[in-house]
C-alpha cells in the first residue's frame, strides 16, 4: 500500500509588536524617543518606511508610526503603548568606557538592538567596528565581564565607543520621524 503524507502548510509565525525606548542623555529619566520592533518568529526588525527606521517622540504616536510603515507590520495589533525595552545609549557608553562588566545588560542590549536596526536599513559597520562589536557581544552572551576580552584581543575601549557611536549615527542618518 502506497500512502503519501498530506503536506500541511507551515504554521504562520506569531507576529507581535514591541515598544522600544531610547535614552541618549543619561540624566533623562524617561526614554527620549521610540520605535516599534516587529517580531515574526525568530525574526525581529523595526518598523520602517522607504528603508528608513521610523522613530517617534511619544508612545501615543505609535499608531501613526505603524500606519506609516511599509514593512508588513501595519495590520499587527495590538499597538503597544507600554515599554518593552529601554535601550540606554548613554548608560551603555558609560559601561563601555568605565566598567569591567555589563552587569545590567545595557551594552549587550544596545549592540543587539542596533544590529537589528542596521540590518533593517541595510548598513554594516566598517570591519574594524564589526570585529569589536561581534567580539564584545559574543563575550557578553557568555558572561557580563567583557574588559578582559578587550585586553586579550587588543581592542581598546575607544574603538568600542567609536563603533557604538558609528552605529547610533548611521541609524539616525537612515531614519524618519513621525509626529
Residues 163, 147: Cα–Cα separation, whole Å: 16
Q: Taking all residues of the chain, what is their mean pLDDT, rounded to a whole number?
A: 93
Q: What is the pLDDT of residues 84-134, one digit of tens each?
A: 999 999 999 999 999 999 999 999 999 999 999 999 999 999 999 999 999
Q: What is the pLDDT of residues 147-156, one digit of tens each?
A: 999 999 999 9
- 5 lies in a domain? no
Give the chain's largest Cα–Cα span: 73
- 130 lies in a domain? yes
- 4 lies in a domain? no
Q: Is the pLDDT of residue 174 over 70?
A: yes
**pLDDT at residue number 4:** 61
- 33 lies in a domain? yes
pTM of the model: 0.90
- 173 lies in a domain? yes
CB of 109 closer than 8 Å to CB of 92: yes
Tell me what the mean pLDDT of segment 24-47 comes to: 92
Domains in the chain: how many in total? 1
Q: Which domain holds residue 35?
A: 15-178
Residue 50's CB: how many other CB atoms inside 10 A? 10
Q: Is the pLDDT of residue 10 over 90?
A: no
What is the percent of the chain where pLDDT is above 70?
A: 93
CB of 140 closer than 8 Å to CB of 102: yes
Residues 26, 28: Cα–Cα separation, whole Å: 6
- The DSSP bridge pattern shows strands 33-40 and 43-46 to be antiparallel
- 45 lies in a domain? yes
- 147 lies in a domain? yes
**pLDDT at residue number 99:** 98
- 34 lies in a domain? yes
Residues 22, 28: Cα–Cα separation, whole Å: 10
Amino acid at each position: 500500500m502506497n500512502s503519501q503524507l498530506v503536506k500541511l502548510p507551515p504554521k504562520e509565525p506569531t507576529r507581535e509588536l514591541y515598544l522600544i525606548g531610547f535614552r541618549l542623555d543619561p540624566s533623562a529619566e524617561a526614554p527620549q524617543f521610540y520605535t516599534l520592533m516587529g517580531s515574526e518568529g525568530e525574526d525581529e526588525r523595526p518598523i520602517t518606511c522607504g528603508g528608513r527606521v521610523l522613530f517617534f517622540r511619544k508612545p501615543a504616536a505609535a499608531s501613526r508610526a505603524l500606519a506609516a510603515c511599509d514593512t508588513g507590520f501595519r495590520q499587527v495589533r495590538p499597538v503597544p503603548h507600554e515599554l518593552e525595552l529601554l535601550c540606554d545609549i548613554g548608560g551603555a557608553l558609560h559601561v563601555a568606557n568605565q566598567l569591567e562588566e555589563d552587569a545590567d545588560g545595557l551594552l549587550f542590549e544596545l549592540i543587539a538592538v542596533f544590529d537589528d536596526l542596521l540590518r533593517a536599513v541595510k548598513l554594516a559597520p566598517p570591519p574594524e567596528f564589526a570585529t569589536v562589536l561581534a567580539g564584545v557581544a559574543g563575550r557578553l552572551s557568555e558572561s557580563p565581564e567583557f574588559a578582559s576580552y578587550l585586553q586579550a584581543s587588543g581592542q581598546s575601549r575607544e574603538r568600542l565607543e567609536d563603533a557604538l557611536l558609528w552605529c547610533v549615527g548611521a541609524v539616525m542618518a537612515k531614519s524618519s520621524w513621525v509626529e
